[in-house]
Structure 1
Amino acid sequence: MTFSASHLLLAWLADLLLGDPPSWPHPVRWIGRLIEKAESFFYLETGDGGRPRLGAGSDGTPDGRLRVLGAAFWLTVVGAVGAAVTAALLLFHWIHPFLSGLLGVWIACTCLATRSLHDESAAVARALREGRLEEARGLLSRIVSRETAHLDEEGIWRALLETVSENLSDGVVAPLFYLALGGPVGGLLYKTVNTLDSMVGYRNERYRDFGWCAARMDDLFNWIPARLTALLLLAAGAVWGLDRRRGRAVVRRDARKHKSPNAGFPEAAAAGLLGVQLGGPGIYFGRTVEKPTLGDPVAAPDEKSFRLMTRLLFTTSALAALSAALVRGLWG
């Protein structure tokens, strides 16, 4: 199977040009259906309102049996995806190596989200700029997990900066990192791990134990990419003449305040470079969650800071793609 540095760069360029057309087939949507099917098999229920038959007790003690089932569920999904994509690449390579390379480029392209991250965030910014606050709230609710109905204009700008900086790691740098090391198989396995976390990695009654493995493995897979994203953001900030020294200081001071072991690094880097304060309280599933603040309020989040964040998004993506291609060339 051939997946060279040029294949990786071609996939990155294809993502920039095409994004993620909703009418096109997408492996992540297939992975989502597989996760739903596998969950219905592994997760045991009584049928009385969806409460687990094997669950944590009233004292919050973890249920080891549910964690074992969740680990088996995670391994089954990841193993099935890895086997399927490897078999497809081998089959296409047997027919003709060119077809295997073409399939690899398509798979790699679907792992990346630079264009879609920009398009979805820019749609929110456009609605705000034109004074359509309710529409901006609705569009924002499609790309963030918090409730948006109560957010004012500054709150929407802040949420946009947070989601672009955080998803820059999950949707761009991390997939490129695993594509560099493992080709299309590595890239799609990372997307599987990330999708598993987004579907079952919650701390509610149903998934607190069953989704524990998915959440922890997502933390593990993102540990290096999140820190690489912060470094690349600082490099991109230097390209645009932003205060890299302040960005580095905010990362050192605030990155580990975040509840997530990873999300704080790209968010803190962006906050420091832009001179804004991110984080703070937010409403999630009807409950106010107090989140630590990252950065200093040198300036208020606004359209100007979003434009700068857009420059950082594309510059960081380009730096990550070039770095990944270099690693792929040496590794391959």
Structure 2
Amino acid sequence: MMPGLALTMLVAAAIGVDLIVGDPRRLPHPVVLMGRLIGALEARLNRGSVRARLWGGRLTVLITVAGTFAAVWGICRVLGAIHPWLGLAAELWLISTAVAIKGLAGAGRAVAEPLDRGDLPAARTALGRVVGRDTQALDAAGTARGAIETVAENTVDGITAPLLFALIGGAPLALAYKAVNTLDSMIGYRTQRHENFGRAAAKLDDAANWLPARLTALCFCLGSRRAWRSTRQDAPKHASPNAGWPEAAVAYRLGVQLGGASCYQGVVSQSATLGEPIAAPDARHIERAINLMHHAWARFFALTAALMIAVTWLIPAGGGV
């Protein structure tokens, strides 16, 4: 494994690549390959009795996560053996694919810009590309709320969590985390089809995001003790053990209320409300949420990178005592 400072510099460079380039559509994306693998495994293993589906889901998780880690480690190792700079370039690019700063900001602005000019249908369509809820009947406030929730929640699984795992284990661990996240997004639902098969994926995703969600919420709230106190009170109300933390933090920083009623395939779902309805969400709040997202990931990276560098320096010193 790379020393802490070297790995931190590599991850910082990967952040720069994502901010400048984003996800080029012409290049194969690792998450697409993960999705294909998960789909193939589900077609074969999501069948039979409840017990068979449970074990099929566990096997799918094991193959996908371990296989991703091994494949990325192998690619970096082989290319590094050919030339060290080639191995570093591969790891740099792979880490950048695990981070979605530019993509998340772009998804938020794709809703904010038409909403700001009064084009509600276009804003609804843009929101519909990144959320699972029905968007065609949303008013302007509901559309803005959906975009803010997307930016808040995905700051964790799209930015800070992969950064944390990259700082711990480089590209192999960062992409293994993305495999966990992709598994949850594809099969981690409490539907008839995935209730048993996706249980292991959902629990592993909850465990992987537990610490990043809380640290990210803290980074959102830096500078506002009141927001942090209120976030700690509201976050546990959310059905997800992790999503409520960044959403509550952003809600209190913006002075809006998130959560409440949403419609999925014609069925209304009621979730806990987070924050205070000081103002109705609008395009300006989406832009402010994006700015908060940038501040939060930068603080998160500075904090976790400093901790990792300190740990790598202290462990050898402790071992020599």
Report the AA paired with residue 281 of structure 2. P
State the alpha-carbon separation in 1 of the partners of residues 170 and 307 from structure 2: 11
Offset at residue 310 of structure 1 (A): 1.6
For residues 13-67 of structure 1, give each alpha carbon's deviation from its aligned partner in whole angstroms, at most 9, with x where no partner exists.
Answer: 11111111222221111111111122222222xxxxxxxx32xxxxxxxx23321
What is the SS of the residue equivalent to 2:263? strand
Q: CA deviation at 1:169?
A: 0.8
Mapping of residues 1-332 of structure 1, within 5 Å: 2=2, 4-44=7-47, 53-54=48-49, 63-235=50-222, 238=223, 244-331=224-311
**Cα deviation digits, residues 257-276 of structure 1 (max 9, x gap):** 00000000000111111111
Alpha-carbon distance in structure 2 between the residues aligned to 1:321 and 1:190? 17
8 Å CA contact 2:236–2:244 kept in 1: the answer is yes
The alpha-carbon deviation at position 321 of structure 1 amounts to: 2.5
Letter in 2 for 1:7: L
SS of the counterpart of 1:293? strand
Structure 1 residue 328: deviation in Å? 4.2
Relative to structure 1, the CA distance from residue 27 to residue 331 in structure 2 (aligned partners, 3 Å threshold; closer, same or farther) is: farther
**Displacement of 1:314 after TM fit?**
1.0
Residue 216 of structure 1 aligns with an amino acid whose one-letter code is K
Q: How big is the shift at 1:205?
A: 0.9
Q: Is the Cα contact below 8 Å between 1:180 and 1:327 reproduced in 2?
A: no
Range with bigger deviation, 1-10 or 84-93: 1-10
* Runs (5+) with no aligned partner, structure 1: 45-52, 55-62, 239-243
| Contact map agreement 2:7 2:167 (CA 8 A) in 1 | no
Match in the other structure for 1:48: none
CA 1:151–1:265: 2 relative to 1, 3 Å: same
> Do the aligned partners of 2:76 and 2:90 also contact (CA within 8 Å) in 1?
yes
Going from structure 1 to structure 2, the CA distance change for 1:276 and 1:137 (only over 3 Å counts) comes to same
Aligned-partner residue type, residue 268 of structure 1: A
Instruction: Summarize deviations over 1:256-315 as a string: whole Å, max 9, x none.
Output: 000000000000111111111100010112211011100111122122322221211111
1:331 shift after superposition: 4.9
1:138-160 Cα offsets, whole Å, 9 max, x none, are 11001111110110001111111
- Per-residue CA distance 1:222-252 (angstroms, 9 max, x = gap): 10010011011112xx2xxxxx133112212
Amino acid at match of 2:16: L
Distance 1:22 1:38, change over 3 A: same
Question: Structure 1 counterpart of 2:235, which letter?
Answer: A
Q: CA deviation at 1:214?
A: 0.5
From the two aligned structures, give the one with the greater helix fraction: 2
Quote the sequence identity (%).
Answer: 40
Q: Which runs of 4+ in 1 moved over 4 A?
A: none
User: What is the root-mean-square deviation of aligned Cα atoms in Å?
Assistant: 1.4
Q: TM-score, normalised by structure 2?
A: 0.93
- What code does the residue aligned with 2:32 have? R
> Is contact 1:179-1:324 (8 Å) kept?
no
Runs of at least 5 residues in structure 2 that lack an aligned partner in the other structure: 313-321
Using the TM superposition, give the Cα deviation of residue 330 of structure 1 relative to its aligned residue in structure 2, in angstroms.
3.9
Q: How many pairs align?
A: 309
What one-letter code is carried by the residue in structure 2 that aligns with 1:39? E
